[in-house]
Amino acid sequence: MSKAAHTPGPWYVDSCDDDLVYASNGLRIALCSCEGQDDEIPTEVTANALLIAAAPDLLECAEAVLASWENGDLAGAVRQLDAAVANAKGGAA
């Protein structure tokens, strides 16, 4: 696999502003918004931010699954992927 050019993870959703995604180095990765909505941030916007924040972990897991597939041992990679998907959905595995 080639070296990724994106900002390294982890990325996180700002706990005070559910529509902002930051990298661990403080770089703002994304602003998820719903133009024209009320002041309250819709659940869908927060879910989008969580999914974006999980992108580095999901990529790492996808790479692990591919590598494990080649070695014929998917169990560990699937557990890692299950945890990453749960995190992307805003919950723990």
- The reply to whether 71 falls in a domain is yes
Residue 92: per-residue pLDDT: 60
Out of 28-37, 40-49, 50-59, the most confident range is 50-59
pTM for this structure? Answer: 0.74
Residue 22: per-residue pLDDT: 93
What single-letter amino acid sits at 63? E
With 90 as the cut, is the pLDDT of residue 72 above it? no
- Residue reference for tokens 């749960």: 86
- Look up residue 54 and give its two tokens: 């999980």
CB 14, CB 22: distance < 8 Å: yes
Phi-psi bin for 67: left (phi > 0), alpha (psi -120 to 50), beta?
Answer: alpha
Q: Which domain holds residue 91?
A: 54-93
Domain count, the chain: 2
DSSP E strands in the chain: the ranges are 11-13, 20-23, 28-31
In terms of domains, do 42 and 63 share one? no
Residue 11: per-residue pLDDT: 95
- The reply to whether 77 falls in a domain is yes
In terms of domains, do 87 and 66 share one? yes
- The reply to whether 61 falls in a domain is yes
